[in-house]
Amino acid sequence: MPTALRLLPALSPDHRERLMSLAREVSFPADGKIFEAGGTADRFWVIRSGTVSLYQRVVGERRISVATLGPGDLLGWSWLFPPHHWDFGAEAFSPVRAYEFDAGEVRTLCDRDPALELSLTRTIAAILAHRLETTRAALIEHYARHGGGSVR
């Protein structure tokens, strides 16, 4: 499977600088919940250090880890698409440092700069395509191990 695209290096230096002007540094402790599926997606992060687990809740309280994110990875994309609710949950697997971006500020910046909006949207779409592949593989593997029956 190809390596995941990284958001910041994929942007032009000018677009990266404009986006980074909105960044603030944050941290999350190990085992700290970052967001839960269904919550309001009003921000996103680029991980600087540490590891984050993306998970999906299945029957009851059971969770399936569908992706592990690390330095350079984008965390959160639901802010970009209405209704702006998280599709997955995220938890810090280790202490995490990240750049945090307020979604409303980024959308306003994009409204003023259509070239930045196009570049950001295309890059995030490529990241999502890769995540969809890895999530699908993780769910198929989980089902094959725990769900019984045949996998098609």
Q: How large a percentage of the chain has pLDDT more than 70?
A: 90
Q: Does residue 151 register a pLDDT over 50? A: no
* Banded pLDDT at 3 (limits 50, 70, 90): low
pLDDT at residue 142 is higher than 80 = no
Structure-token pair, residue 20:
């980074």
Contact 111, 41 (CB under 8 A): no
Is the pLDDT at 61 greater than 80? The verdict is no
Write the pLDDT tens digit of every residue in 78-127.
999 899 999 899 999 999 999 999 999 999 999 999 999 999 999 999 99
Question: Rounded to 5 degrees, what are φ and ψ at 93?
Answer: -85, -30
What pLDDT is attached to residue 130? 86
Sheet of 74-75: strand order equals: 24-28, 96-102, 43-49, 74-75
**Global confidence as pTM:** 0.86
